[in-house]
Structure 1
């Protein structure tokens, strides 16, 4: 029975962490207008589209290196490091004041897509 409890805990923690990563990965799209307004940044439609596509593209590309790291370190350690790393862009996002910084933060947010 103890094994069954550990299995349920692992399933619950895995589901919650995946949900958090997915929310972080895609949080830019619904908030981009508010973020741009608060940052006082005027952007063209191309720049806005590029900003929205950046986390999606990076998340897709970085899955291969993250898979390699998972093979070497183990999935649990890699996922914990990823979750801790994601604190950085989440805390940075409300503090950006330029388009370049928005792109950089979007790149960091893209790491959530590697989960």
Structure 2
């Protein structure tokens, strides 16, 4: 079951002003993988990045860096008020890439994501 926003891509389209960075695609894939698995790898985030890297024929470090840049862009240029409202969080500055992936996946899954 997903939230009324639908997919990770749909949610990112709503909150990001522009999704031109490759990292947004990796972020979308990371959120979808977490939703599909139902667990967030709190201590194994690089393994998640490695799964994406393998698909994209990139290094896990490249995927990590591109997701971090997309998350930074999301918090600097996106619709932060809408993002805070949807995630029910008030943040003065953005969240880490891992926390952002978890929060987006948890929101879209209706709060069903477990921490591993």
Provide the TM-score with structure 2 as the length reference: 0.35
Rg comparison, structure with higher value: 1
* Greater share of residues in helix: 1
